[in-house]
Chains A and B, each alone.
Chain A
Amino acid sequence: MPAPRATPMATVFIPPALRDLTSGATTVLIDAPTVRALVEELDRKYPGVRDRLCEGAYFRPGQTVAVDDVAFTNRVAMYQEVGPDSEVHFIAAIAGGAAGASRH
């Protein structure tokens, strides 16, 4: 479970696929107002994260984010706001019964 925080910053859970870039860290504290800013900040701290997650200005197909347990669809994810004590998870974008099972 994440360490208690001194200043109000979002807790970002690092999925197994990115832990080689964060030298094994499973959670990271980031201060950022939106998901786009959060990814930028994360990439500054751990170069290569943005390239793994994104393709141009959006998350790669099959990739998205959940902020405070609300999973957003791939295209809208970058625009979501991030609160001072939000929990952020990078998760697979699954349209379930819809056309897109997870794509690679």
Chain B
Amino acid sequence: MVAVDARTATKVVVQATINGEPVQFLAEPRQTLLECLRDVLSLTGTKEGCADGNCGACNVVMDGRLVNSCLVLGVEAAGASITTIEGIAPVGGLHPLQTAFLEQAALQCGICTPGFIVSASELLKRNARPTEDEIRFWLAGNLCRCTGYDKIVRAVLQAAEMIHPAA
């Protein structure tokens, strides 16, 4: 049954795990995961920069994979485990990447920072000591207009060393 009247589009109950917590929310099929996170669940840490997969500001981790949440439907998240920026830091502290971004001044306006930190956290899970080029290739899908990327690369390197200190 398709809603002819846009207002009463059929909502679906979606059950997912978000930042380690079981969550239920209502979503119209057309609402993206990004829209559900921000406007339904008020998790506004995930940002929208383009809505078509070209800027990375909306990146989240879904079932262990980095994805653009603007190109995933909310209803597709049923049964999935999702990590957003709000779930990166441990209780009462910061993730090494968050500390490194602050110490290296790797953000200016900060709108792209959540996306960069989520993306970089996935890189460091796969590659404990990435090179400058490997960091740049992995983060190529995250656009930043303020920093010129230099200090972001330095922050990821510092975080890698904090997580796996050189012998």
A–B contact with Cβ pairs below 8 Å: the answer is no
Residues of A whose CB lies within 8 Å of any CB of B are: none
